[in-house]
A and B are shown apart, each in its own frame.
Chain A
């Protein structure tokens, strides 16, 4: 698949503090890629490096065939960025915030209404940004990032601090982008969100990628127990070894009609991350 983002051995430091080391990533068009890690792991720094807001100390990143540290205005027209610290004009309405960028991007005014509708803010067009809830602000930032129909979308913790319902709405919008062939690079510390949305992920810990691949692959890779958990109708829970002997045991329970559920015992991403980082409990 054609690559949208290539990160080639990037490293970065602030003064003498190393924040990123030997980061190598490849993100294809139409892929949702998640960069996971606790707060302070270097996720936002990597987004800033990929969007040309910072220059890497070592290595380089290539965005749609261009060096990320030399992106021009034209290149930015293909990139949508949604970062929490990317401000909105608080005293202007939602509509006027988007109108400014529609003018800058030469987008017809009609598209503003469409953009607001797409993120569920059609009724809030006249509302001043300072009166919006955090969820509504996030959706407005998302609408702004989508205005130019970008080829790449960078989302920095897009659902951080949102209620589950709003987060779910945002998830739908993100998944829609994949259908439209947009490469989505998102950072999150929410492992469940990453499992749900991402085709591939990288786990970032203390500035280094400690694991990467698809969420399913990673979970399987760390499935050391190789067991199956079953639940019987009488309430009994059992863990069975995942080997040849399991077939006869399961057949037996099935014949008796007492088997209620079968579960795999693969770890989830959170457990994998804990294992890789030595039991960090600050996710």
Chain B
């Protein structure tokens, strides 16, 4: 626990000075506040920008941050030093993962408030965000563990991030894309956000999200067992 907190504290300080990662965390919450308060188009669904930016946030911030942090530590050998200092790989991953999850949840809270979700709806919105961020953290960890350095991580992160961030939005314009998007957690989370106010929660969406979570966990397990953190 002490090691995990040490890693977490280090990461907080590091993020404040790491513009690349820091921008990821604040970009969509700020965009939500601006767009929800300035753009009013007749016929536009409620919480339109909040929901849209929320899924983009899920697909982008935790995934890229996790992959970037792990791959940077691998590249600069700080991870090896930590592991040789009695910090277990699990403590490290929990430290970084819980930090990213928490800071993204803070971002999600701002997006929720920006989208004028209050009370029970805000809690539901945050629950949806919590699940999505967790899946993205796992996928980011998979990329980070697999990559030898930041450049290798970026080359994988960008297309994966684009798929999960933009498919929900692009599926609005094209049926073929929508069919593909239906198997992704970000699309399904977007659906849940849109459905939660009328109370009609799609069971199919829950199953797809659950399956995405299982796939992310299995992928993480396989990559962690094969690659480990120390290699």
Complex Cα distance A277/B44, Å?
A: 80
Complex Cα distance A81/B84, Å?
A: 9
Q: Which residue of B lies closest to A51 (CB)?
A: B84
> Mostly helix, strand, loop or mixed at chain B's interface?
helix
Selecting from B7-15, B107-115, B159-167, B204-212, the interface stretch reads B7-15
The reply to whether A96 and B10 contact each other, CB–CB distance below 8 Å, is yes
Known contacts A53-B80, A96-B13; A91 and B86 CB within 8 A of each other: no
B38 within 8 A of A: no
A89 contact set on B, CB distance < 8 A: 10, 14, 78
B77 within 8 A of A: yes
Complex Cα distance A106/B5, Å?
A: 12
Q: How many A residues touch B, CB cutoff 8 Å? A: 24
Q: Which residue of B lies closest to A102 (CB)?
A: B6
The reply to whether B13 and A92 contact each other, CB–CB distance below 8 Å, is yes
**A81, A100, A103: which has the most chain B beta carbons within 10 Å?**
A100
The reply to whether B6 and A104 contact each other, CB–CB distance below 8 Å, is yes
B87 within 8 A of A: yes
A263 within 8 A of B: no
The reply to whether B81 and A86 contact each other, CB–CB distance below 8 Å, is yes
Distance from B67 Cβ to chain A, minimum over Cβ atoms (Å):
18
Among A51, A52, A76, A86, contact of B86 (Cβ-Cβ < 8 Å): A76
A25 within 8 A of B: no
Q: Which residue of B lies closest to A103 (CB)?
A: B6
The reply to whether A87 and B6 contact each other, CB–CB distance below 8 Å, is no
The reply to whether A106 and B2 contact each other, CB–CB distance below 8 Å, is yes
Known: A74-B86, A76-B85, A89-B14. 11 other contacts (CB 8 A): A73-B88, A77-B86, A86-B80, A87-B76, A90-B76, A91-B13, A91-B18, A92-B10, A100-B6, A103-B5, A104-B87
Q: How many B residues touch A, CB cutoff 8 Å? A: 23
Interface digits, A97-108 against B, CB 8 Å rule (1 contact, 0 not)? 000110111100
A104 contact set on B, CB distance < 8 A: 2-3, 6, 82, 85-87
A224 within 8 A of B: no
B179 within 8 A of A: no
B87 contact set on A, CB distance < 8 A: 104
A88 within 8 A of B: yes
A256 within 8 A of B: no
Question: Can you spell out 19 A-B residue pairs with CB atoms less than 8 angstroms apart?
Answer: A52-B84, A53-B80, A53-B84, A73-B85, A74-B86, A76-B84, A76-B85, A76-B86, A77-B86, A81-B84, A91-B14, A92-B14, A100-B7, A100-B9, A103-B2, A104-B82, A104-B86, A105-B85, A128-B17
Complex Cα distance A105/B14, Å?
A: 20
**A51, A52, A89, A101: which has the most chain B beta carbons within 10 Å?**
A89
The 3 tightest CB contacts between A and B, nearest first, are A73-B86, A87-B76, A103-B6
B78 contact set on A, CB distance < 8 A: 87-89
The reply to whether B85 and A101 contact each other, CB–CB distance below 8 Å, is yes
The reply to whether B10 and A100 contact each other, CB–CB distance below 8 Å, is yes
Distance from B163 Cβ to chain A, minimum over Cβ atoms (Å):
30
A282 within 8 A of B: no
Complex Cα distance A76/B76, Å?
A: 20
B9 contact set on A, CB distance < 8 A: 100, 103
Q: Which residue of B lies closest to A84 (CB)?
A: B77
B85 contact set on A, CB distance < 8 A: 73, 76, 101, 104-105
Distance from B102 Cβ to chain A, minimum over Cβ atoms (Å):
19
B2 contact set on A, CB distance < 8 A: 103-104, 106
Q: Which residue of A lies closest to B82 (CB)?
A: A104
Complex Cα distance A92/B9, Å?
A: 11
A86 contact set on B, CB distance < 8 A: 77, 80-81
Q: Which residue of B lies closest to A91 (CB)?
A: B17
A103 contact set on B, CB distance < 8 A: 2-3, 5-6, 9
